[in-house]
């Protein structure tokens, strides 16, 4: 049985991780043909381009990773772009998936889109229980609408569109732009440059915010598990452990043989985003899947090694 899987955002962090999976991570009874889409191949903000692509490929499954994403400062400085680009991308992908009869679509959200003021740990059902943190409201509302769109398509057209909600993702082949990237790649790049230039490694903020982090290869494996499962509801993909930004900074600086210094004058963003992974644990247990998350220090070490080795080629 041959199934064609279209991966939007296929050259990004998570798409690259899916590409790196082994055959042991897939159902042995299904032969998969993966097509990894990048922005040069198709502008998903254009309905006509997106429709032509779907009609050409006729995918059985879609893993929808493409998005306009970035860290705290990109969200603060580009709110209109973050909203409009994501709304266009998501609307075009879902409609074209419907028109071409896609059997299942797995779309990727993020725990950063949950309400700012919410009872912890965050549960899938609390996604729309209040406004997001002001620092990323445009991105958050656009991504929330993706979850609404998936449910609407399922109800009206009997589609099988679901959302996975990972916590902060990190790993090789990330975007290491100093201003627009997420916290871990930004810290790695800043620490690297500080060491190269003989400077102090300065970490923006108090270091107190708490975060959960998922290694990109772990997320890739979980997305395939969800794709191959019968689950029909949104699901949070996250380990249980939380770390402060200060703890993460120290792990990174230690790998470089450096010390980290906190800059308390900079914005922290949202203090915590603790998520509930009980639905994930139920799915794994029900399917008798022995899955273990990569330890953060191990994942950071592997990510930093990749960063140093591929520095000239990375997005930065």
Q: Would you give the DSSP letter of residue 52? A: H
The tokens 């209109």 sit on which residue? 80
Q: 181-191 burial by CB neighbour count: b if 16+ within 10 A, else e?
A: bbbbbbbbbbb
Three-state secondary-structure class, residue 193: helix
Minimal CA–CA distance to 248: which of 198, 299, 294, 316?
299
Q: 38-67 burial by CB neighbour count: b if 16+ within 10 A, else e?
A: eeeebebbeeeebeebbeebebbbbbbbbb
Which is the catalytic residue, given 36, 73, 139, 170?
139
Three-state secondary-structure class, residue 215: strand
Sign of CA dihedral 78, 73, 88, 54: positive
The tokens 């900074």 sit on which residue? 249
The tokens 């916290």 sit on which residue? 183
Question: How many Cα neighbours within 13 Å face the side chain of 239?
Answer: 21
Token digits for 96? Answer: 């074209």
What count of other Cβ atoms lies within 10 Å of the Cβ of residue 105? 25
The tokens 């010390």 sit on which residue? 259
End-to-end CA distance of the chain: 40
192 part of the active site: no
Tell whether omega for the bond before 121 is within 30 degrees of 0, i.e. cis: yes
* Residues belonging to the active site: 139
């Amino acid at each position: 049985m041959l199934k064609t899987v279209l991966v939007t955002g296929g050259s990004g962090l998570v798409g690259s991780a899916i590409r790196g999976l082994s055959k042991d991570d897939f159902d042995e009874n299904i032969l998969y043909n993966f097509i990894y889409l990048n922005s040069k191949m198709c502008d998903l903000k254009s309905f006509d381009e997106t429709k032509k692509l779907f009609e050409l490929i006729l995918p059985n499954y879609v893993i929808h990773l493409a998005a306009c994403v970035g860290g705290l400062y990109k969200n603060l400085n580009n709110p209109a772009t973050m909203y409009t680009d994501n709304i266009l991308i998501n609307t075009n992908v879902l409609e074209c998936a419907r028109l071409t009869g896609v059997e299942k679509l797995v779309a990727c959200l993020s725990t950063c889109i949950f309400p700012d003021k919410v009872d912890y740990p965050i549960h899938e059902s609390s996604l729309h229980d209040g406004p997001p943190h002001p620092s990323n409201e445009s991105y958050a509302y656009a991504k929330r609408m993706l979850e609404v769109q998936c449910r609407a398509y399922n109800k009206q057209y009997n589609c099988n569109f679901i959302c996975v909600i990972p916590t902060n993702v990190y790993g090789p082949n990330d975007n290491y732009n100093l201003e627009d990237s997420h916290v871990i790649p930004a810290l790695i790049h800043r620490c690297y440059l500080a060491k190269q230039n003989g400077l102090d490694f300065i970490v923006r903020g108090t270091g107190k915010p708490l975060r959960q982090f998922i290694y990109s290869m772990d997320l890739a494996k979980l997305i395939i598990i969800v794709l191959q499962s019968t689950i029909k509801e949104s699901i949070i993909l996250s380990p249980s452990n939380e770390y402060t930004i200060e703890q993460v900074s120290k792990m990174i600086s230690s790998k470089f043989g450096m010390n980290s210094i906190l800059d308390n004058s900079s914005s922290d963003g949202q203090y915590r985003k603790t998520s509930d992974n009980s639905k994930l644990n139920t799915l794994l247990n029900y399917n008798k899947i022995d899955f273990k998350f990569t330890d953060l220090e191990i994942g950071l070490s592997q990510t930093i090694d990749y960063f140093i080795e591929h520095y000239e080629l990375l997005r930065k």
